[in-house]
Amino acid sequence: MNSAVRAVLTSRESGIVLVLLAVVAATTAVNPGFLSGQGVHDLFLNASIIALLAVGQSMLVITRNIDLSVGSVMGLSAYLSGQMFLSDKDMPTIVVVLAGIGLGALCGAFNGALVAIAKVPALVVTLGTLYVFRGLDYAWASATGVQQVNAYQMSSDFLSFGSGSLLGIPNLTLVAVVVVAAAAFALRSFRSGRELYAIGSNPDAARLAGIPTGRRVFTTFVISGALVGLAGMLHAAYFGTINAGVGSGKELAVVAAVVVGGVAIFGGSGTVVGAALGALLLTTITSALPILGVPAFWQRAVDGAALLLAISLDRAVMLRLAARLQTERNRRRA
């Protein structure tokens, strides 16, 4: 068998696709409408925002970092869009989107500075900013007296973009595909992208090799924050209703999508394409559970169970690989 074909068949992404097909087949057998044109449209639409969040998160996890504040930053960016339309309902959509991206990048820079410059562990930093950013969101809503912004208060162009499609493909999905493709190309083709893997594999060795690890980690936090800000804008455009609670609980779903997608939680390996497929798989499972008769309270356990399973499998593979390498070393010495 050709080595390239073997690599494709044995990749984590191929396994995700096979599981995804199995879930779709089982659900379609129970409810044929699940695979209708509208059903497929809804699946991709629901997965698009999680996929966007997963792209930035996967880049961070590759460097042995993590961002638990993504849901709060998403909510803050979404609420910003509502406030902008309250001040001017005819605000150009591009201005609102750029403002959301900018706010997300600013939050990412704050996290990145504490991690890369102050050397505080990312888990500690982002666990704290998860509550700080959410608190700012609620404080902003309280100060303005606007607890919720509704669709009739926003621009029709903004809402049309969120609910629109091109050639039957949702606009949100097209945006997610472009972002995933751009990130995958950058990680594979640019030196700065490949250096993220080196940092995640061995930070000390990467530093000794002359890689500016602090700058790379800081930049990755900024990029991830910008993507979270974009996701917040798209959430507002699609749902048309915004309050200070937008994005609550997204952290687990995003981390689960990244790890299920094959990005090693210990850093150094994985792809953004796998993370996006992980987002699609978990979204599909969540949509399929009610059709398969699974009680609603189990739906929230899916992400956690998938996360635990993926981490356990990765750990088992790493231990097996380490044992194999040790056996090879012993054989050479003998």
Q: Write out the two tokens for 279.
A: 């987002």
Q: How far apart are the first and last CA of the chain?
A: 33
0.75 surpassed by pTM: yes
- What per-residue confidence (pLDDT) applies to 4? 46
DSSP readout, 197-253?
Answer: HHHHH-HHHHHHTT--HHHHHHHHHHHHHHHHHHHHHHHHHHH--EETTTTTTHHHH
As for how many domains the chain has, the answer is: 1
Residue whose C-alpha is closest to residue 136's, from 203, 206, 73? 73
Q: CATH number, domain at 62?
A: 1.10.3470
Determine the average pLDDT of the residues in 58-85: 93
- What per-residue confidence (pLDDT) applies to 186? 94
- Domain of residue 165, residue span: 3-333
- To 10 degrees, the CA torsion angle through 22, 24, 30, 34? 180
Q: What is the rounded distance in angstroms from the CA atom of residue 136 to the CA atom of residue 155? A: 25
Residue whose C-alpha is closest to residue 299's, from 313, 288, 314, 307? 288
Determine the average pLDDT of the residues in 37-51: 83
Place of tokens 């879930």: 23
Residue whose C-alpha is closest to residue 111's, from 140, 81, 132? 132
Pairing of strands 148-149, 169-170: unpaired
Determine the average pLDDT of the residues in 9-20: 74
Residue 1 has pLDDT above 60, yes or no: no
Rg (alpha carbons) of the chain, rounded to whole number = 21
Residue 60 sits at φ, ψ, to 5 deg, of: -70, -45
**Burial of residue 138 (number of CB atoms within 10 Å: 0-12, 13-18, 19+):** middle
Calculate what percentage of the chain has a pLDDT beyond 90.
42
- The string of pLDDT tens digits covering residues 134-184 is 999 999 988 888 888 888 888 888 888 888 888 878 889 999 999 999 999
> Across the chain, what does the average pLDDT equal?
86
Q: Write out the two tokens for 214.
A: 């602090």
